[in-house]
Structure 1
């Protein structure tokens, strides 16, 4: 059994489906054939029983003259000797308990009696046979007749009908049904193979597509979807997965290209400054102190820019699974905003900050949310004119940061949260183009929304709006 199960599991899905289909049809045909055979057999037996039921239960002119002897064999010999053939519809035999028997004229065979026949009361039917071995259906009843020279005597009346023709017909029917069943099984196997090939065609297409991707690494390959069954859902899921992989690879390639582009500028500047310092030392002509100080300051600024850029890249490249639920705690957003404003004051010492901050508690990653607020304030500080005002409000879970700078053109608003995107008008300003991407990620992780748009009061500047679910009192 284990070897058979192992052999079955080792077959292809198409072969297993074809075998299961053929087996199911074979069982159905076999059961139908058996049911048909038994029904026909029962109907024929019922007809024979009805024929026996029409036989007379008493002796009369229709039953002919009976010849009695000491045994059924002797009675049969006596009937044959007298040659008084009388056509009988039934084979009738009278058997007494002492072994004597009586047969009608024309009888050519005797029915085998059974001991139970002599104790049976009423009329019963049983399967029996003739003395020559031919099968018969026998009706058993009790009768009293007068025997010449003996007077009244009790006999068991056996009325029989040969059923050898019925059995032959049943055998022929069994052979016919077996042949039909065999043809049905063969046809079921062929049909199952065709059905399996047609039903599993989407699976073949899916397999070919997967093998193509594995061989060529060309993600994004899709297969046609037909219908709405399970295979169609599987095809749709594969297409969605393939498209997602293609988009992921595209984003990865774009991230690498953008990161390489952003890293090239500070690295080139650092290499130039280091080469200049090395050349000065190698030639023995030291740089002027002011120039040397300027070079070291520039190198420090470039290193800080690299540090910020690498930190931003690590923040954005961190997968969702690396931000476990334990980092999401209750955060006092108003306290976080005050800390971010103090840092922003240091970066914009000539700016004014107008604050309206109400208590608000949210559930999220505190450091990530603080980084998001700091990035929003950094943008406001960067684009605010000298002596300008940065307005910040936190009311009912709605945080707004508004500057009075040049603003963002309407056709560029759709790109502001893209990684490494920087407005053409601000490329000369410091930054990597990752700040707003970090803001969007932190806010989305906390279940909130962020938007950037022009000032709504008609004045210059940009307004950043963050909505975070929470409550005004500490939980």
Structure 2
């Protein structure tokens, strides 16, 4: 997809590729992303467990060696206070090494200034205890060295060869590494299996959506289970139902509009063709001047009817788009300005008006149009010298009632709900002028502003339109 940037001082390429810089994760299929995410999580967990196992086993082996060296050192220290042990010190050292293979020994009895036994390198510092015993453990040249002294000057140095322990630790590390690699491979395979199995419902939903896009059939999608994906499918079905209803209404509007436009267009074409014939050479005098003027008036009236019908269709097709300007509307002022227009058309009808100062948030033009339609409808069906009664009554702090009652023939109870349908006109009123869209526009406008409308009978047998609207009482003068 290409998007053309705004013109001006930009010297870059005239087109920008949307999505050219998408991240790798956005380009990777969802199953692979889930598999890689599973792999990453499992690999981290396996690696952490492997490291902790290796580290804990190493510490455990070293701690076990240290405890064994400490036990042997304590035994030698106890023997250093025995004179017989000291007399046979060389033999005792050799005897100790025979029973402790891999361990070297050096001792310094109390009061001695030299060390007997093996030459063991020392490193580290002593740690004094409360009993006066000093101990230090360190590793030197592949050996674990322990030095321990008692409180009377005796000292023992033990060096344990750690090559065997290191081989055990290395073997353990190799085994753990193999286990970790196998676990990671198993995690990758499991991730692919889980992703494939888990995304099957989503793939089924995708196929259903693709079928709708390809065939334009807005049929509901089958719902399986009650999980999150099932809820998503239900929401999608609700969207399809709304779209289907919108399409149905659009189709009906086009069909009804075509039907309603056909009659005035045919009549107007016939009258225009007749006028054209009369204006040809030699056609003068075929009709009287009065008939000629009547034809012209008919054409103008039909054009006016066509213009009004098209305006009603446009108003009916309008939606409450985001760019619609909502402002504070004074309902009383809107009624007064509408009354002026209606009175000019029906000067033979009296209007009794009782208004309240009422303010609401809405679209000024649409509300004015709805009020004009209500008053026009009441004036049209009222006989000469009839009365149209307009009254406002506050129902609550945030609710007002507007009634428009006429002196006309009224609406039958079975037709009172249908009068708000598009293009509906009762059989006995189909010969009257009008498109049947006025009250449909009124109802749509009121509902868009949070209001409602219903029909009842007026006190003198005519029609009473009862409108409820939100808002609040204002301090201004309604004007009437």
Q: Give the alignment's TM-score, normalised by structure 1.
A: 0.79
Q: Does the CA-based 8 Å contact 2:403-2:467 persist in structure 1? A: yes
C-alpha separation between the residues in 1 aligned to 2:386 and 2:253?
Answer: 35
C-alpha separation between the residues in 2 aligned to 1:278 and 1:378?
Answer: 35
C-alpha separation between the residues in 2 aligned to 1:375 and 1:182?
Answer: 79
Cα drift, residue 308 of structure 1: 0.5
Q: Indicate the larger mover: 348-357 or 16-25.
A: 348-357
Unaligned runs of 5+ in 2: 1-21, 109-113, 395-399
Match of 2:266 in 1: 268
C-alpha separation between the residues in 2 aligned to 1:349 and 1:214?
Answer: 57
C-alpha separation between the residues in 2 aligned to 1:306 and 1:202?
Answer: 53
Residues 276-313 of structure 1: CA deviation (Å, up to 9, x unaligned): 22333447333412322222111111100011011112
Q: Does the CA-based 8 Å contact 1:392-1:402 persist in structure 2? A: yes
Of the candidates 278, 282, 291, which is equivalent to residue 276 of structure 2? 278
Match of 1:471 in 2: 473
Q: Does the CA-based 8 Å contact 1:363-1:470 persist in structure 2? A: no
Residues 229-268 of structure 1 mapped to structure 2, 5 A cutoff:
229=228, 231-232=229-230, 234-268=232-266
Quickly say closer, same or farther: Cα 1:62–1:236, change in 2 above 3 A: farther
Cα drift, residue 220 of structure 1: 5.2
Cα drift, residue 455 of structure 1: 1.6
C-alpha separation between the residues in 2 aligned to 1:236 and 1:63?
Answer: 93
Cα drift, residue 111 of structure 1: 6.7
Residues 142-157 of structure 1 mapped to structure 2, 5 A cutoff:
157=156
Q: Does the CA-based 8 Å contact 1:406-1:461 persist in structure 2? A: yes
Residues 15-40 of structure 1: CA deviation (Å, up to 9, x unaligned): 11110111111111111111122222
C-alpha separation between the residues in 2 aligned to 1:451 and 1:117?
Answer: 96
Quickly say closer, same or farther: Cα 1:267–1:62, change in 2 above 3 A: farther
Quickly say closer, same or farther: Cα 1:247–1:111, change in 2 above 3 A: farther
Match of 1:420 in 2: 423
C-alpha separation between the residues in 1 aligned to 2:373 and 2:425?
Answer: 14
Q: Does the CA-based 8 Å contact 2:106-2:116 persist in structure 1? A: yes
Quickly say closer, same or farther: Cα 1:194–1:346, change in 2 above 3 A: same
Residues 388-399 of structure 1 mapped to structure 2, 5 A cutoff:
388-396=386-394, 397-399=400-402
C-alpha separation between the residues in 1 aligned to 2:70 and 2:190?
Answer: 49
SS in 1 for 2:49: helix
Of the candidates 107, 110, 121, which is equivalent to residue 113 of structure 1? 121
1:450 aligned onto 2:447? no
1:125 aligned onto 2:137? yes
Quickly say closer, same or farther: Cα 1:363–1:126, change in 2 above 3 A: closer
Of the candidates 43, 46, 56, which is equivalent to residue 60 of structure 2? 43
SS in 1 for 2:158: strand
Of the candidates 143, 154, 173, which is equivalent to residue 136 of structure 1? 143
Quickly say closer, same or farther: Cα 1:159–1:293, change in 2 above 3 A: same
SS in 2 for 1:425: helix
Alpha-carbon RMSD across the aligned residues, in angstroms, is 3.7
C-alpha separation between the residues in 2 aligned to 1:199 and 1:221?
Answer: 22
Cα drift, residue 233 of structure 1: 5.0
Residues 151-190 of structure 1 mapped to structure 2, 5 A cutoff:
157-190=156-189
Of the candidates 30, 44, 47, which is equivalent to residue 47 of structure 2? 30
Unaligned runs of 5+ in 1: 69-75, 104-109, 130-134, 146-153
Residues 380-391 of structure 1 mapped to structure 2, 5 A cutoff:
380-391=378-389
